[in-house]
């Protein structure tokens, strides 16, 4: 609480150039009526919450009102983390994981310090992952649709969604819940007067906001751009989209037989959250936030030295990218890209590693990964006792 309160007066370029202007626009043009105008490039669901937050502005000031919305989103994220972990570990571990999430560096930097809202879409993604882990596929699809309505980065769990359908764990018709949930979240803005076509093209418009293959993001395009400064934008976007699509399909095909354990579901989600933004162009420095959260969740659910190293490296890479904007650290995103590359390699190795058969009661450690199934079956009665 002390840490979050200390973050309330902190400001930055995004707050001064965007969030404060949007808050003032909501107050001046009517909290509901303003939603019918395209005054912000952010998706309407966040603007709904920001509009409610402006009710506190006369008491707290606009900056603090913005931060309180972000902090509320962070608390929501922690609650979703507890729900996700409860599908994998015992209740006490899930509660500890949710509490610890509130103080990991990128979570504090993203919401309370930066005033951003990535915790909102990430929270719904955690609900989606927990839904798949519990076999509640309709809930997972609904949560994914809501997450996409907040931010398009929610599509980074596309490998898990596709793997779930390929494994016949859910009906293909449940995909209809994704656009349905997205459309439902746009209804208030439409009722306020915003054109339906404008809302349907929301993310197409966002994609035209800047023309840059990498925006201080720790991914491969940051490295490629440093090695080849004149890398053409158009071909780079096409190549990146094709590589990302291939990566999604390959991960889904490899994962479709690995969804019988909640830990594996979590690992598939983490792999997508790291690999997709790593190969996609036009990413921002905060686009690994979902990987930050899921790597922490995986380390909490499957404690091992490698899982812990992955979580630490992802945090470090993201923080270096954050620092390029928040404290103007030169070269932070480039170094972060190298760190993220190491984390991604370790994650892929974890993804390919052998997993103990269900019901053995054994932790997934290097000591048991090389054992055969008969050896594990022979140990099962003793482990149970």
* pLDDT digit string, tens, across residues 7-58: 999 999 999 999 999 999 999 999 999 999 989 989 999 999 999 999 999 9
Tell whether 367 is covered by a domain: no
Total domains in the chain come to: 1
Q: Is residue 138 part of a domain?
A: yes
Q: Which burial class, exposed, middle or buried, applies to 91 when counting CB atoms under 10 A from its CB (0-12, 13-18, 19+)?
A: exposed
Domain for residue 274, yes or no? Answer: yes
The string of pLDDT tens digits covering residues 287-345 is 999 999 999 999 999 889 999 999 999 999 999 999 999 888 888 999 999 999 999 99
Determine the pLDDT at residue 208: 76
Please state whether beta strands 283-284 and 214-215 pair in parallel, antiparallel, or not at all (unpaired).
parallel
Q: Which of 192-196, 206-210, 272-276 has the lowest mean pLDDT?
A: 206-210
Under 8 Å between Cβ of 27 and 50: no
Which tokens sit at 166? 């390929």
Determine the pLDDT at residue 363. Answer: 39
Q: What mean pLDDT do residues 202-221 have?
A: 87
372 belongs to a structural domain: no
Q: Mean of the per-residue pLDDT values for the chain? A: 89
Percent of the chain predicted with pLDDT > 70: 92
Average pLDDT over residues 266-289: 96
Tell me: the pLDDT tens digits for 92-119? 999 999 999 999 999 999 999 999 999 9
Whether residue 369 lies inside any domain: the answer is no
> Which pLDDT score is estimated for 371?
38
Domain around 187: 2-353
The answer to whether residue 379 is domain-embedded is: no
Going by C-alpha positions, the residue among 320, 273, 316, 321 that lies closest to residue 297 is 273
Q: Which residues contact 212 (CB under 8 A, 6 or more apart)?
A: 233, 282
**Structural domain contains residue 282:** yes
Kindly state whether residue 311 falls inside one of the protein's structural domains: yes
pLDDT surpassing 80 at residue 360: no
């Amino acid at each position: 609480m002390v840490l979050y309160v200390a973050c309330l007066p902190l400001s930055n370029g995004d707050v001064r150039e965007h969030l404060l202007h949007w808050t003032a626009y909501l107050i001046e043009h009517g909290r509901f009526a303003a939603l019918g105008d395209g005054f912000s490039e952010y998706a309407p669901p966040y603007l709904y919450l920001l509009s409610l937050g402006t009710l506190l502005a006369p008491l707290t000031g606009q900056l603090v009102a913005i931060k309180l919305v972000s902090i509320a989103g962070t608390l929501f994220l922690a609650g979703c983390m507890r729900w996700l972990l409860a599908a994998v570990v015992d209740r006490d571990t899930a509660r500890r994981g949710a509490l610890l999430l509130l103080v990991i560096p990128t979570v504090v930097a993203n919401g309370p310090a930066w005033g951003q809202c990535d915790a909102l879409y990430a929270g719904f993604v955690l609900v989606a992952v927990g839904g798949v882990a519990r076999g509640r596929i309709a809930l997972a699809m609904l949560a994914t649709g809501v997450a996409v309505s907040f931010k398009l980065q929610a599509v980074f769990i596309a490998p898990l969604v596709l793997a779930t359908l390929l494994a016949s764990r859910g009906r293909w018709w449940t995909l209809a819940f994704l656009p349905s949930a997205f459309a439902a979240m746009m209804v208030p803005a439409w009722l306020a007067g915003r054109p339906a076509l404008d809302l349907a093209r929301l993310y197409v418009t966002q994609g035209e906001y800047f023309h840059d293959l990498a925006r201080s993001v720790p991914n491969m395009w940051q490295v490629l751009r440093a090695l080849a400064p004149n890398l053409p934008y158009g071909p780079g976007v096409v190549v990146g989209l094709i590589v990302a699509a291939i990566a999604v399909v390959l991960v889904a095909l490899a994962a479709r037989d690995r969804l019988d354990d909640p830990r594996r579901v979590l690992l598939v989600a983490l792999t997508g959250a790291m690999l997709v933004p790593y190969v996609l162009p036009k990413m921002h420095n905060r686009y690994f936030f979902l990987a930050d959260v899921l790597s922490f969740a995986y380390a909490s659910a499957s404690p091992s030295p490698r899982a812990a190293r992955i979580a630490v490296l992802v945090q470090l890479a993201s923080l270096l990218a954050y620092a390029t904007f928040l404290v103007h650290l030169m070269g932070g995103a480039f170094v972060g890209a190298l760190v993220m590359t190491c984390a991604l390699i370790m994650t892929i190795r974890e993804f390919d590693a052998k997993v103990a058969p269900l019901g053995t009661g054994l932790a997934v450690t290097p000591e048991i990964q090389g054992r055969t199934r008969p050896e594990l079956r022979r140990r099962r009665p003793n482990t149970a006792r």
